[in-house]
Chain A
Amino acid sequence: MRSIDRSKRIARRVDVRVGANLAVLFAPLVGVVLFGLHLFSANELLELTMGELDERLDQMASAWKEVDAERRETMWSVLTEQLARDGGGFSVRDQAGDVLVAGGSRSDAAATSQGWRWLQPVGIGAGEDLIASRRLAPGRTATIWISSDRFVQERDELLFGFWLSLAIGVGLVTIVALPATRRALAPLREATRVAESIEPARLGARLATRGTRDDVDRHALAVNQLLDQIESGLARITSFSHEVAHELRTPVHRIASATELWLLEHPEEDPSTATIEEIHRTAEQIARLVEGLLLLARGEGDQLGPRMQEIDASELCETLREIYGPACEEAGIRFEVECRVGRVRADVALMLRALGNLLDNARRHVPAGGFIRLRATTDAVEPDFVAFEVEDSGAGIPIAEWTRVFDRFARTDDSDRSGLGLGLPISRAILRAHGGDVELREGSCPEAGARFVARWPRGAS
Chain B
Amino acid sequence: MRILFLEDDVRTAQTLRRGLEGQGFEVAHAADVAAAIAQLAEGPIDAAILDVMVPGGSGYDVLERIRESRLHVPVLMLTALDGISDRVEGLDRGADDYLVKPFAFAELLARLRALLRRPAKRVDPIRVDGLEIDPIHRRVLCQGHRLDLTRTEFDLLLAFVERRGEVLNRALLLELVWGYRFDPGTNVVDVHVNRLRRKLEPLDPIRTVRGVGYAFD
Contacts and interface: CB of A to CB of B under 8 A. Distances in A.
Contact of A260 (B174, B187, B211): B211
Contacts of A407: none
A287 interface: yes
Contact of B150 (A307, A322, A419): A322
B150 A254 contact: no
B69 interface: no
A249 B9 CA distance: 11
Given A291-B81, A350-B182, A326 B195 contact: yes
Chain A CB within 10 Å, residue with most, of B102, B167, B181, B182: B102
B180 interface: yes
B212 A246 contact: no
A419 B178 CA distance: 23
Interface in A379-418: 418
Contacts of B184: 323-324, 352-353, 356, 360
Given A254-B9, A257-B12, 13 more contacts: A253-B101, A256-B102, A256-B104, A264-B19, A264-B105, A264-B106, A281-B211, A291-B183, A322-B150, A326-B192, A349-B182, A352-B180, A419-B186
Interface string A134-171: 00000000000000000000000000000000000000
Interface in A253-270: 253-254, 256-261, 263-265, 267
Interface of B: 9, 11-12, 15-16, 18-19, 22, 81-82, 84-85, 88, 101-102, 104-106, 150-152, 167, 174, 178, 180-188, 191-192, 194-195, 209-212
Given A304-B84, A319-B178, A356-B182, A249 B211 contact: no
B82 A257 contact: no
A276 B209 CA distance: 13
Nearest to A288: B183
A265 B22 contact: yes
B105 A323 contact: no
Interface in A240-288: 246, 249-250, 252-254, 256-261, 263-265, 267, 273, 276-277, 280-281, 284, 287-288
B49 to A, nearest CB: 13
Q: What 6 A-B pairs have minimum CB-CB distances, sorted nearest first?
A: A360-B185, A253-B102, A277-B211, A305-B84, A353-B182, A327-B191
29 contacts: A246-B82, A253-B101, A254-B9, A254-B12, A257-B19, A257-B105, A260-B104, A260-B105, A261-B16, A261-B22, A263-B209, A263-B210, A263-B212, A264-B22, A264-B105, A264-B106, A265-B22, A267-B209, A273-B210, A291-B102, A298-B82, A319-B180, A322-B178, A323-B184, A323-B188, A327-B186, A360-B185, A360-B188, A423-B185
Interface string A357-395: 100100010000000000000000000000000000000
Nearest to A320: B184
A260 B106 contact: yes
A303 interface: yes
Interface string A279-320: 011001001100100110110000111010000000000010
Contact of B211 (A280, A298, A303, A352): A280
A97 to B, nearest CB: 116
B55 to A, nearest CB: 14
Contacts of B15: 254, 257-258, 261
The A interface is mostly helix, strand or loop, or mixed, namely helix
Nearest to B16: A257
B84 A298 contact: yes
A199 interface: no
A157 to B, nearest CB: 84
A254 B17 CA distance: 12
Give the interface size bracket for A toward B: 35 or more
B101 to A, nearest CB: 7
Contact of B182 (A261, A265, A352, A364): A352
A314 to B, nearest CB: 14
B180 A348 contact: yes
Contacts of A349: 180-182
A70 interface: no
Nearest to A269: B210
Contacts of B88: 307
A356 B185 contact: yes
Contacts of B104: 256, 260, 284
A330 interface: yes
B177 to A, nearest CB: 8
A257 to B, nearest CB: 5
Contacts of A294: 81-82
B146 to A, nearest CB: 21
